[in-house]
Amino acid sequence: ETVIVLFNRDLRVHDHPALSAACERGRAVVPLFVLDPAVPAGRRTPFLLACLADLREGLRARGGELFVRRGDTVAETLRMAGESGATAVYAGADVSGLARARERRLAGAARIEVRLFPGVTVVPPGLLRPSGGGDHYRVFTPYWRAWSAAARRPLLPPPERVEVPSGLEPGALPASAAPGGESRARGRMTAWAREHLAGYADGHDDLAGDRTSRLSPYLRFGCVSPLEVASLGNEAFARQLCWRDFHHQVTLAFPRIDRDDYRPRGHAWHDDAGAEQAWKAGMTGLPIVDAGMRQLLAEGWMHNRARLITAAYLVRQLRIDWRTGAAHFFDLLLDGDVADNYGNWQWVAGTGNDTRPNRSFSPIRQSRRFDPAGDYIRAHVPELAAVPAPYVHEPWLSPRPIPGYPRPLTSPAPR
Ligand code: FAD
């Protein structure tokens, strides 16, 4: 009996329920990844390739192999079943519309048994249902309570041996120097937890301190199991992982989260190509916004507090459609993920669930509070590198001209 393990965004050997189940009882296993043009990774491609190279190493160390193919995932999986004689496909269950369409197409193929396993979230999406009825939680706090009390499956060790059938071509994998992969993810998780986990509640909003885990790209590609990350402990940190699960269970119930307002608010959005470009380029003239947007351009990552500030500025001050901002983030973020990106954007825009859209929000107050010395701004906006603290937040008040830095696009928000 031969089983294909179809990898997707679970690029690891530790705590991999589908891989562990396939390796039981000495069955032959075909670990497979399909580079599918329908799932363009864009800026994430080098990171993905590094993840795949590391996964291949992890499987080889256990006697196995990672088979890489290019093309339509379903067609290539069925072709591989034909070549290897596999009768079943095991895969991680996912939530996005694209992933679920693929799962349905695979399941519809007559020749093969398809089994889906948990592993993309801490608690499987759809498992927890609100007591008042409905197929998902719309509000975070009751979800957090149910999530905290939910039973957890045990963590799985990597399989000792992965027996692959002989005679299959592994498939070429372009080299990549990006820092992706399970080995790095595990190293980062351990080192960060030792140094910063205990101080997470106090430190995670300090923009210049940069003390969050930066595990998000690794979680995005499943280089580390979210269940294992949650098992590190610390309530404030677990709460962030619960937000991740929360958005995943919303996406399972509402797969058009990337397009349609979850809860329409009847906003009229402004079209303003100039303002949109200035926001994308980090040239709005509002330093905290520009620092975040330039961090995104430079690193493919942005601190959570800066994501909140830059997103709120786009939808509240510029009144530009959240879809415009979300698409830009999704293109550039290494952790760009359907549930987390669009869920958070809708939350900020007030079209999502559990939002208080009329809560007042001042980017300048945020700037003073979360980057009091202005060091985050100075690190990302070199034009302001020499501007002292009070003016670094509001350079238009500075008595000296600041060459090269634009005047604010909008009249500054109330302070
Ligand atoms: P930590 O603070 O160390 O948190 C640990 C993990 O918890 C993160 O790696 C992430 O997986 C999860 N997490 C933390 N905050 C959130 C949150 N608000 N929602 C969901 N999960 C969370 N995160 C993504 O992974 N992908 C995205 O595409 C994404 N887009 C976002 C867009 C906007 C507008 C906003 C406001 C937030 C977005 N986030 C997204 C959530 C959050 O900003 C990042 O997960 C976080 O900044 C990653 O840094 P970290 O790993 O150091 O986080």
Digit-coded pLDDT (tens) for 339-355: 999 999 999 998 877 66
Residue 344 Cβ contacting ligand 1 at under 6 Å? yes
Q: Based on the number of CB atoms within 10 Å of its own CB, is 336 exposed (0-12), middle (13-18) or buried (19 or more)?
A: buried
Q: What is the CB-side half-sphere exposure of residue 120 using CA atoms within 13 A?
A: 28
**Ligand 1 atom at minimum distance from 218 CA:** 9
Digit-coded pLDDT (tens) for 174-206: 999 999 999 999 999 999 999 999 999 999 999
Give buried/exposed letters for 52-64 (b at 16+ CB in 10 A, else e): bbbbbebbeebeb
Q: 383 CA distance to ligand 1 centroid (A)?
A: 28
* CA dist., res. 242 & res. 142, Å (int): 11
Residue 354, pLDDT score = 62
Chain centroid, CA 277 distance in Å: 24
Instruction: Find the angle CA(121)-CA(126)-CA(131) to the nearest 5 degrees.
Output: 125
Tokens coding 97 = 């519309």
Residue 60 Cβ contacting ligand 1 at under 6 Å? no
Query: Which residues, at least 6 apart from 307, have a Cβ–Cβ distance to it below 8 Å?
Result: 292, 329, 344
Residue 329 Cβ contacting ligand 1 at under 6 Å? yes
Residue 65, pLDDT score = 98
* CA dist., res. 281 & res. 365, Å (int): 22
**Ligand 1 atom at minimum distance from 303 CA:** 47
> Token match 């329409």: residue?
264
Q: 86 CA distance to ligand 1 centroid (A)?
A: 38
Q: 127 CA distance to ligand 1 centroid (A)?
A: 22
Residue 292, pLDDT score = 98
**Ligand 1 atom at minimum distance from 204 CA:** 2
Residue 307 Cβ contacting ligand 1 at under 6 Å? yes
* CA dist., res. 306 & res. 209, Å (int): 13
Specify the CATH number for 273-397; select among 3.40.50.1220, 1.10.579.10, 2.60.40.10, 1.10.3720.10.
1.10.579.10
Domain 121-152+184-253 -> CATH class: mainly alpha
Cβ atoms of residues 410 and 288 within 8 Å:
no
Q: 344 CA distance to ligand 1 centroid (A)?
A: 9
Q: 217 CA distance to ligand 1 centroid (A)?
A: 9
Residue 359, pLDDT score = 66
pTM: 0.97
User: What is the domain partition of the chain in residue ranges?
Assistant: 2-120, 121-152+184-253, 273-397
Residue 197 Cβ contacting ligand 1 at under 6 Å? no
Positions of the chain with pLDDT under 70: 354-359, 412-415
Q: 28 CA distance to ligand 1 centroid (A)?
A: 37
Query: Which residues, at least 6 apart from 213, have a Cβ–Cβ distance to it below 8 Å?
Result: 188, 189, 192, 193, 196, 229, 237
Q: How would you write the chain as a 3-class SS string?
A: CEEEEECCCCCCCCCCHHHHHHHHHHCEEEEEEEECCCCCCHHHHHHHHHHHHHHHHHHHCCCCCCEEEECCHHHHHHHHHHHHCCCEEEEECCCCHHHHHHHHHHHHCCCCEEEEECCCCCCCCCCCCCCCCCCCCCCHHHHHHHHHHCCCCCCCCCCCCCCCCCCCCCCCCCCCCCCCCHHHHHHHHHHHHHHHHHHHHHHCCCCCCCCCCCCHHHHHCCCCCHHHHHCCCCHHHHHHHHHHHHHHHHHHHCHHHHCCCCCCCCCCCCCCHHHHHHHHHCCCCCHHHHHHHHHHHHHCCCCHHHHHHHHHHHHHHCCCCHHHHHHHHHHHCCCCCHHHHHHHHHHHHCCCCCCCCCCCCCHHHHHHHHCCCCHHHHHHCHHHCCCCHHHHHCHHHCCCCCCCCCCCCCCCCCC
- CA distances 234 to 58, 148, 237, Å, are 29, 12, 6
Residue 200 Cβ contacting ligand 1 at under 6 Å? no
* CA dist., res. 234 & res. 242, Å (int): 12
Phi, psi of 163 (to 5 degrees): -85, 115
- CA distances 25 to 7, 19, 20, 154, 233, Å, are 20, 12, 10, 19, 33
> In this structure, is the dihedral angle defined by the CA atoms of residues 14, 16, 19 and 20, taken in order, positive or negative?
positive
Q: CATH second-level architecture of 2-120? A: 3-Layer(aba) Sandwich (3.40)
* Strand-strand pairing, 88-92 and 67-70: unpaired
Residue 352, pLDDT score = 78
Residue 357, pLDDT score = 58
* Torsion of the alpha carbons at 238, 239, 243 and 246, rounded to the nearest 10: 80
